Amino acid sequence: MNVSNPSMVQSARMTISDVLAITKRNLIRFKRTPEILIFSSIQPVMFLLLFNYVFGGAIGVATPGTSYINFLLPGIMAQTALFSTLQTPIALVDDLDKGAIDRFRSLPMSRGAVLAGRTFADSLRSLFIVVLMFVIGTLLGFRYQAGGGKMILALLLLVSFSYAFSWLTATLGLFIRNAEAVQTAGFLFVFPLTFASSVFVPVVTMPGWLQVFARNQPVTQLVNAMRALMIGGVAIDAVYITIAWTIGILVVFVPLAIWKFKRTV
Contact positions vs another protein (CB under 8 A):
1-5, 14, 17-18, 21-22, 24-25, 28-29, 32-33, 98-100, 102-109, 265
Of 131, 130, 145, 140, residue with least CA distance to 69: 140
Select 5 or 145, whichever has its Cβ closest to another protein: 5
What is d(CA 245, CA 165) in angstroms, rounded to the nearest whole number?
A: 10
Select 32 or 64, whichever has its Cβ closest to another protein: 32
In the bound complex, what is the minimum distance in angstroms from residue 186's beta carbon to another protein? 24
In the bound complex, what is the minimum distance in angstroms from residue 32's beta carbon to another protein? 4
Select 24 or 143, whichever has its Cβ closest to another protein: 24
Q: Which CA distances in Å does 36 have to 30, 39, 145?
A: 7, 5, 33
Q: Say if residue 173 is exposed, middle or buried (CB neighbours under 10 Å; 0-12, 13-18, 19+).
A: buried
Select 45 or 179, whichever has its Cβ closest to another protein: 179
In the bound complex, what is the minimum distance in angstroms from residue 118's beta carbon to another protein? 13
CB 258 within 8 A of CB 116: no
CB 121 within 8 A of CB 27: yes
In the bound complex, what is the minimum distance in angstroms from residue 169's beta carbon to another protein? 22
Select 117 or 186, whichever has its Cβ closest to another protein: 117
**Cα dihedral 131/137/143/147 (nearest 10):** -10
In the bound complex, what is the minimum distance in angstroms from residue 176's beta carbon to another protein? 19
CB 123 within 8 A of CB 169: no
